[in-house]
Amino acid sequence: MGTGRLLGVGLGERVLELVLPATCAGCGAPGAACCARCLAGFGRPERVARGPTGGVGCYALARYEDIPRRLVLSYKERGRRDLAAPLGRVLAAALPHLPGASPDDEGVWWLVPAPSRRTASRVRGGPHMLRLARACAAALAEAGSSAAVAPALRLAAGARDAVGLTHAQRAANLAGRLRLDPRGLPPVHTRVVVLDDVLTTGATAAACARMLTEGGQKVTAVLTLTATG
């Protein structure tokens, strides 16, 4: 069931990896998109308090600083799509250590990527968290676990860049614009984990958890690569 549900890295990206020599986005060392030393900057998930999230725990693998910040920015804003695989692996490795999170009754981990604005997705070559969720699912499948990516959330037009906004401003920015996408919803009452890259004020995590819960899903955790503060 695991591999049948997955959509992996695109053929074009794999060809690009063969043409261009890889260098670590963290330290510049040749040989890989991210060397083992830089990737070790991400640890086990630690709970991060970020205001009301409907009882859903929010967890991050590193602080949004130094090498982890550089890697996230390189992947998200600087075109380093080859980082999806190594970053997906650290998310996959963290899932079994998430308190309260578990696969469904059939042993499938359901992953819901936080949505991106359409304008941002166009600049980034597609929804970056969807790509990362698929890389995470692929890593789980390689380790023998089943996984499914559920792109169940979308942002309607009008949402602006959230950089620099307060919690209240972020919440207002999402109000009425964060919606369920029926095409990506898993079966009702499915246990899901929301994935994101940076946890800031917690407004996005709370909104995602709320929408999914209203849609009949059971959000067991929000897992992010990094957290500010």
Evaluate whether residue 30 is within a structural domain.
Answer: no
- Does some domain include residue 34? no
For 18-28, what is the mean pLDDT? 81
- Let me know if residue 116 belongs to a domain: yes
Mean per-residue pLDDT for 140-146? 96
The whole-angstrom separation of Cα 37 and Cα 33 is 12
pLDDT-derived band at 1 (thresholds 50, 70, 90) equals very low
pLDDT exceeds 60 at position 88 = yes
- Tell me the pTM: 0.83
64: left (phi over 0), alpha (psi -120 to 50) or beta: beta
Range of the domain at 156: 3-12+42-227
Higher pLDDT, 116 or 228: 228
Tell me if 26 is assigned to some domain: no
Cβ-contact 158, 189 below 8 angstroms: no
Q: Is the pLDDT confidence value at 8 over 60?
A: no
The pLDDT, as a whole number, for residue 116 is 81
- Of the ranges 96-105, 151-160, 200-209, which is most confident? 96-105
CATH number for the domain harbouring residue 214: 3.40.50
Query: Do the domain assignments include residue 32?
Result: no
18: pLDDT strictly greater than 70: no
In this structure, is residue 123 part of a structural domain?
yes
Q: Give a yes or no: residue 18 inside a domain.
A: no
The per-residue pLDDT for 126 is: 73
pLDDT tops 80 at residue 19: no
- How many CA within 13 A on the CB side of residue 68? 20
Number of domains into which the chain is organized: 1
Q: pLDDT tens, 148-187?
A: 999 999 987 555 565 665 666 665 656 557 889 999 999 9
Question: What pLDDT is attached to residue 201?
Answer: 87
Q: For residue 79, what pLDDT is reported?
A: 87
Residue type, 7: L
Residue 92 lies in a domain: yes
